[in-house]
Structure 1
Amino acid sequence: MTSAPQLLTDPFLQLPTETSVRVVWFTEFAGVNHTVTYGENLKLTAKANTTKLSRTREDQQSRVANQTKDGEVYQKPVQRDIWRHEAEVTGLTPDVRVNYRVTSVREDRENVSSGVFSLAATPKPDTPLKILLTSDHQLKPMTAANLQKVVETVGQVDGVWFAGDLVNVSDRASEWFDDNGGGALFPGLQGRAKYNMTHDGVNTTYTGGQIIQNAPMFTCIGNHEVMGRFARVGSLDGEFDDTIPRAVAQKIYRDKSLIDNSFNTNTYEEIFSLPKSKEGGKRYYAVSFGNVRLVVLYATNMWRTPNLDKKYRGRYQEAEKDFNNSENWGYGQVIYEPIAKGSKQYNWLEAELNSPEFKQAKYKVVMFHHPPHTLGDNIVPAYTEPVQIIERDGDNIKAVRYEYPKDADYIIHDVVPLLEAANVQLVFYGHSHLWNRFVSSSGMHFLETSNVGNTYGAAWGDRKREVPTGYQEDYVKLGDPNGLKPIVPTIAPLLGEDGKPMPYVSSNDITVFSIFDTGTGTISSYRFDTRKPDSEVVKFDEFKLKNRNFRSPTSSRSRGSFS
């Protein structure tokens, strides 16, 4: 007996405007007709456009369907056919929610429908909203519990801001849709996950939360949304790790595709409908949502291991075996999109910060992936172009090393001063898999709330970052390398072994989420101990954004417009 055909995902919301919103869903069949029915008694219909994802595959490391161990079904990357459907629902009134359902008709004429959810246009500027701030899901163990507790604690949120690293390997289809471990992205955000956690012999299954069926999500690119050279190696993990700078690819491959032979964000861009900027497309953009202007940057680089064992291609060196084969070099922690002063993205950002939409917004928020301030490991070395140093003994290469001059950190020396001058109230980011926050002398807040599914530790107390010795730069082992002190949570901080309050949450048992209440300007952070499934969610920190230089809107341009 075969199971009834299903949609690959529930529908989710994208690109709200003052009168419309996009509805997106996925199937594993092309079908012959795909529609959204909506409104009173679902009498209105919007027809969807269908496209096929071009690079979604499964491979040896996939955990999908009958493959529970490496190579059981797939011995190499194999294309997986997935179709994306998008319909625009129009004629909406701001702040009026409308029921909707999606239906896909298969080639055999069988109808497959979703449940009934609700949608709305972009909210009016004075509408109080609850926005989920999240990042770094990556199929990690506590993510489904985290999202389930969001809904149980605050109810339906009005929007989701996701600061990158949605999955681990962007072209691996099952990580987005149906990883059999229960941690895929869409099931968690749609309340369809089945993630089992066991503590002290007690098994608890977490389902995530029905969130993005009813609330639009705005995302930014993290390092895990970027894939490397296409099909040059034998696995998707290897392909993800096989990125090289565009300029190097140009020299090696000449007239061949730079996207195929350096790095790309094809799958990420095919999955999501996002606001676009003229200069950066979906990769960096700005959008007004209620009384907030959200500016999303493409600020991430290739994560490479800090391990200095000569067999590793890492952030500080090339592997010894590759010294004489430069095509296999990794070139350190490659920055994917320039953001230094004078770059196209920097110039766009400067113009956006001077736009009427930005200046007139009550709350000004900037989101990107790489941390400007953190206790996490991933902030070291500096966010700058790797400086290559090749050591030779005659014609023989003895070492290929990379330095990262701290005084050339583009985020700290170029971007942050621009944000300070523009009266940005909040910079939101991820990448280091912990919760911590900071505030500058001018009152600009920095929040990293990425201890969602797991952690890799904080550089605090006796735990130090893994940094090289004998290099030119003085790499910082403890604290925030960029000079700010972490803020101790204001309500219920966790206590360290010494009994003192800790200024961070770094745990593989306690998961954290944060909610931005735009009605009060308050950002509240919550924690849940997955070892105690019957325990309460604890609000442990809260702070309020200042209304710095806020003016009443006078521009005739739409606050829901994209730039």
Structure 2
Amino acid sequence: MSDEIGLLCEPYLLLPDETGVEVAWVTDRRPRASRLVFAPWELADRLEQLSPDELLDASIGGELPAAVWVQAASTRLSAMAEDRESVLPARLVDLRLALESGETSGVTVPREVWRIAARATGLEPGRAYAYRVASSGVASDVARLSAAPPAGAPMLRLLLTSDHQLGATVPATMKQAIAATGRFDAVLYAGDFVNVPDRASEWFDDARGSAFFPSMRGILPNTPMLSVVGNHEVQGTREAGATLAESFESALPLAVSPDGLSLSNYEMLFPSPSGSRFFAITFGGVRIIALSAARVWRSERAEEHPEDRVASSRYQESRDVLDDPLAQRYGSHIIDDLSAGSPQYNWLRRELRSPEFAEARLRIVVMHESPHSIGVNAMPHFAHPVRLEERDATGQVTGVRYDYPSSENILLRDVAPLLEAARVELVIGGHSHLWSRFTSPAGVHYLETSHAGSTHGAFEGGGGRHRARPPRLWNAHDALAQGDPGGLTPIVPNIRPRLGPEDQPLPYIADPELSVFSVLTVSADAGAKVSSYVVDSRTPDAPAQLFDAFPLG
């Protein structure tokens, strides 16, 4: 094994404010020393010429007098690992041999991953700075950073995307996003970065070429990201003999087991401005509210007869775990409660009444699961699972199933009324891997722009595909086969809609050959507008096509 430090990703920007921004990067060893160096943008060429050793030298002020250097702190992401399902690059010889030889104590191998971070402070508003990072003999290329734009910034461009999850077309789509609109001021990411959050290669170097950070290398070094948690950021308890994917599917409610689930890798890579999984910040005069609206993923299996249930799912427990509370899965349980009276709900009520919200030029909400969707994941309803125990004549539990009543849909019953009453202009969601949008009677726009290279289909009603529903023993009448659970009609794109089999314009994009991204533009002169673009994987070099645009406010 080489002793050389390697950069697992280019630096990326986080936590912008009026005078600074955090710069983070990731290495494959613990560096002896790490440093962020930044200088006014006009010195970018001179900064590029410095070697890694010169960047770390105490006398860098003599080489570049206008430069500022900041010592960086390092933290190990101890949950990062690989397993036999990892698709590793050829250079990781030792890891590949360990997994292939069976010499490991199970089916997973820990992988050394270190997050390094430093904060650039004292930045002048509206001024661009060149920067590089260095860690023990390696350094990044020059990139650009700046403080958060002021409230009166003449132009903002925010990239809206989510659910990348190793999509093969994501790298080309992100390149097309840059080509279509130029440099972004921020990325709003609505959750689901990878498939298995503890599998390091999915973040950094999956051999198929679409790991998260490499796919975003043209954007993240120059653009701060604001993100929310999705279900694929949640890992379950790692048990001996289980693959990383199996432990991903075994997450338990914290009320059942204090270590039943973990978001440690996500929370260390993308720390929240508030220290919580829900927060609000003002960026360029735009109030951005980030909610934690996700639940653990479970399969759709539903066997009517308890004796036939050989696997736990969102609808049932396996017949083999009824006597073992820690082996049960408790349905698709919600990660952070949003129901009326919960801490997140009460925080949201306060935020919507705050001066920062009232004085913003635009008010938007980002959440993984949205109140309105025609995607497959709109079902079951976003409700706490209702546990129903089936018993025999002696009172012995013979089966457990879970219902999700429509009357208890938290997003529709509790959250959406708050957003509607507060006149939020835009709600951005993800999760179902498609593009669709709605406008409520109160004028709130709901956009899902999560089709980044894979899709689970669309179920808009009036014919076409139907969602799978559990047998009648469940509250199957509550499980919508088609349409939006909130009753809104999806809007047909107003520039270039896709056409159905009878040449009818479709109110969605859900085609595995296509990828979508959206851009929120906020202009002091022209107001705010959301533009959505499509990229065809069959012609990846062709420019992205604008297919929908609508104003806000």
Say whether residues 1:211 and 2:219 are aligned partners. Answer: yes
| Match for residue 119 of structure 2 among 88, 91, 101 | 88
Secondary structure of the residue that 2:255 maps to in structure 1?
A: helix
- Please give the alpha-carbon distance, in whole angstroms, between the structure 2 residues aligned to 1:68 and 1:151: 35
Q: Residues 188-230 of structure 1: CA distance to partner in whole angstroms, max 9, x if unpaired? A: 110xxxxxxxxxxxxxxxxxxx101001000100001011124
Map 1:423-442; keep pairs closer than 5 Å.
423-442=423-442
Amino acid at match of 2:513: D
**What corresponds to 2:190 in structure 1?**
163
Q: Residues 224-249 of structure 1: CA distance to partner in whole angstroms, max 9, x if unpaired? A: 10111243652211111111222222
**What corresponds to 2:237 in structure 1?**
229
Amino acid at match of 1:189: M
Q: Residues 426-470 of structure 1: CA distance to partner in whole angstroms, max 9, x if unpaired? A: 110100000000010010000000011200111133210011131
The structure-2 alpha-carbon separation of the partners of 1:104 and 1:71, relative to structure 1 and needing over 3 Å to count, comes to closer
Q: Residues 388-407 of structure 1: CA distance to partner in whole angstroms, max 9, x if unpaired? A: 11112235544311111111
Deviation at 1:132, TM superposition (A): 0.3
- Please give the alpha-carbon distance, in whole angstroms, between the structure 2 residues aligned to 1:303 and 1:371: 16
- Please give the alpha-carbon distance, in whole angstroms, between the structure 2 residues aligned to 1:545 and 1:296: 19
Contact kept, 8 Å, 1:292 with 1:363, in 2: the verdict is yes
- Please give the alpha-carbon distance, in whole angstroms, between the structure 1 residues aligned to 2:134 and 2:294: 37
Say whether residues 1:271 and 2:269 are aligned partners. Answer: yes
The structure-2 alpha-carbon separation of the partners of 1:465 and 1:18, relative to structure 1 and needing over 3 Å to count, comes to same
Q: Residues 114-141 of structure 1: CA distance to partner in whole angstroms, max 9, x if unpaired? A: 1001100000112111100000011112
**What corresponds to 1:462 in structure 2?**
464
Q: Structure 2: state its 5+ residue gaps.
A: 48-66, 304-308
Secondary structure of the residue that 2:261 maps to in structure 1?
A: coil
Contact kept, 8 Å, 1:458 with 1:506, in 2: the verdict is yes
Secondary structure of the residue that 1:9 maps to in structure 2?
A: strand
- TM-score of the pair, normalised by structure 1: 0.87
Q: Residues 518-563 of structure 1: CA distance to partner in whole angstroms, max 9, x if unpaired? A: 11300000001111234332100001111xxxxxxxxxxxxxxxxx
**What corresponds to 1:503 in structure 2?**
507
Amino acid at match of 1:301: R
Contact kept, 8 Å, 1:169 with 1:175, in 2: the verdict is yes
Say whether residues 1:186 and 2:213 are aligned partners. Answer: yes
Contact kept, 8 Å, 1:61 with 1:71, in 2: the verdict is no
Say whether residues 1:536 and 2:534 are aligned partners. Answer: no
The structure-2 alpha-carbon separation of the partners of 1:297 and 1:69, relative to structure 1 and needing over 3 Å to count, comes to farther
**What corresponds to 1:14 in structure 2?**
14
Secondary structure of the residue that 2:356 maps to in structure 1?
A: helix
The structure-2 alpha-carbon separation of the partners of 1:228 and 1:51, relative to structure 1 and needing over 3 Å to count, comes to same
**What corresponds to 1:122 in structure 2?**
148
Deviation at 1:63, TM superposition (A): 1.3
- Please give the alpha-carbon distance, in whole angstroms, between the structure 1 residues aligned to 2:256 and 2:12: 39
- Please give the alpha-carbon distance, in whole angstroms, between the structure 1 residues aligned to 2:39 and 2:273: 25
Say whether residues 1:373 and 2:372 are aligned partners. Answer: yes
- Please give the alpha-carbon distance, in whole angstroms, between the structure 1 residues aligned to 2:14 and 2:514: 30
Secondary structure of the residue that 2:221 maps to in structure 1?
A: coil
**What corresponds to 1:102 in structure 2?**
133
Contact kept, 8 Å, 1:269 with 1:282, in 2: the verdict is no
Say whether residues 1:56 and 2:50 are aligned partners. Answer: no
Deviation at 1:71, TM superposition (A): 5.2
**What corresponds to 1:331 in structure 2?**
330
Amino acid at match of 1:283: R
**What corresponds to 1:239 in structure 2?**
247
Secondary structure of the residue that 1:455 maps to in structure 2?
A: coil
Report how many residues are paired.
Answer: 508
- Please give the alpha-carbon distance, in whole angstroms, between the structure 2 residues aligned to 1:151 and 1:233: 43
Q: Residues 397-419 of structure 1: CA distance to partner in whole angstroms, max 9, x if unpaired? A: 44311111111111111011011
Deviation at 1:311, TM superposition (A): 2.8
Q: Residues 54-89 of structure 1: CA distance to partner in whole angstroms, max 9, x if unpaired? A: 211111211113488995367512211111111111
Deviation at 1:325, TM superposition (A): 3.6
Secondary structure of the residue that 1:213 maps to in structure 2?
A: helix
- Please give the alpha-carbon distance, in whole angstroms, between the structure 1 residues aligned to 2:299 and 2:416: 26
Contact kept, 8 Å, 2:177 with 2:544, in 1: the verdict is no
**What corresponds to 1:512 in structure 2?**
516
**What corresponds to 2:314 in structure 1?**
315
- Please give the alpha-carbon distance, in whole angstroms, between the structure 2 residues aligned to 1:301 and 1:233: 25
Secondary structure of the residue that 2:7 maps to in structure 1?
A: coil
| Match for residue 70 of structure 2 among 43, 46, 49 | 46
Contact kept, 8 Å, 1:512 with 1:527, in 2: the verdict is yes
Secondary structure of the residue that 1:390 maps to in structure 2?
A: strand
- Please give the alpha-carbon distance, in whole angstroms, between the structure 1 residues aligned to 2:226 and 2:123: 20
Contact kept, 8 Å, 1:383 with 1:409, in 2: the verdict is yes
Q: Structure 1: state its 5+ residue gaps.
A: 106-110, 191-209, 250-257, 547-563
Amino acid at match of 1:274: S
The structure-2 alpha-carbon separation of the partners of 1:384 and 1:485, relative to structure 1 and needing over 3 Å to count, comes to same
Say whether residues 1:136 and 2:135 are aligned partners. Answer: no
**What corresponds to 1:552 in structure 2?**
none
- Please give the alpha-carbon distance, in whole angstroms, between the structure 1 residues aligned to 2:547 and 2:122: 41
Deviation at 1:386, TM superposition (A): 0.7
Deviation at 1:5, TM superposition (A): 5.4
Which has the higher mean CA deviation after the structures are superposed, 142-151 or 488-497? 142-151
Amino acid at match of 1:10: E
Secondary structure of the residue that 1:247 maps to in structure 2?
A: coil
- Please give the alpha-carbon distance, in whole angstroms, between the structure 2 residues aligned to 1:71 and 1:385: 39
**What corresponds to 2:54 in structure 1?**
none
Say whether residues 1:301 and 2:295 are aligned partners. Answer: yes
- Please give the alpha-carbon distance, in whole angstroms, between the structure 2 residues aligned to 1:422 and 1:362: 14
Secondary structure of the residue that 1:526 maps to in structure 2?
A: strand
Deviation at 1:503, TM superposition (A): 0.1
Contact kept, 8 Å, 1:288 with 1:294, in 2: the verdict is yes
| Match for residue 472 of structure 1 among 467, 470, 475 | 475
- TM-score of the pair, normalised by structure 2: 0.88
Contact kept, 8 Å, 1:60 with 1:70, in 2: the verdict is no
Secondary structure of the residue that 2:262 maps to in structure 1?
A: coil
- Please give the alpha-carbon distance, in whole angstroms, between the structure 1 residues aligned to 2:292 and 2:241: 26
Deviation at 1:104, TM superposition (A): 0.9
**What corresponds to 2:401 in structure 1?**
401
The structure-2 alpha-carbon separation of the partners of 1:458 and 1:442, relative to structure 1 and needing over 3 Å to count, comes to same
Deviation at 1:16, TM superposition (A): 1.2
Secondary structure of the residue that 1:335 maps to in structure 2?
A: coil
- Please give the alpha-carbon distance, in whole angstroms, between the structure 1 residues aligned to 2:191 and 2:378: 15
Identity %: 41
- Please give the alpha-carbon distance, in whole angstroms, between the structure 1 residues aligned to 2:330 and 2:77: 30
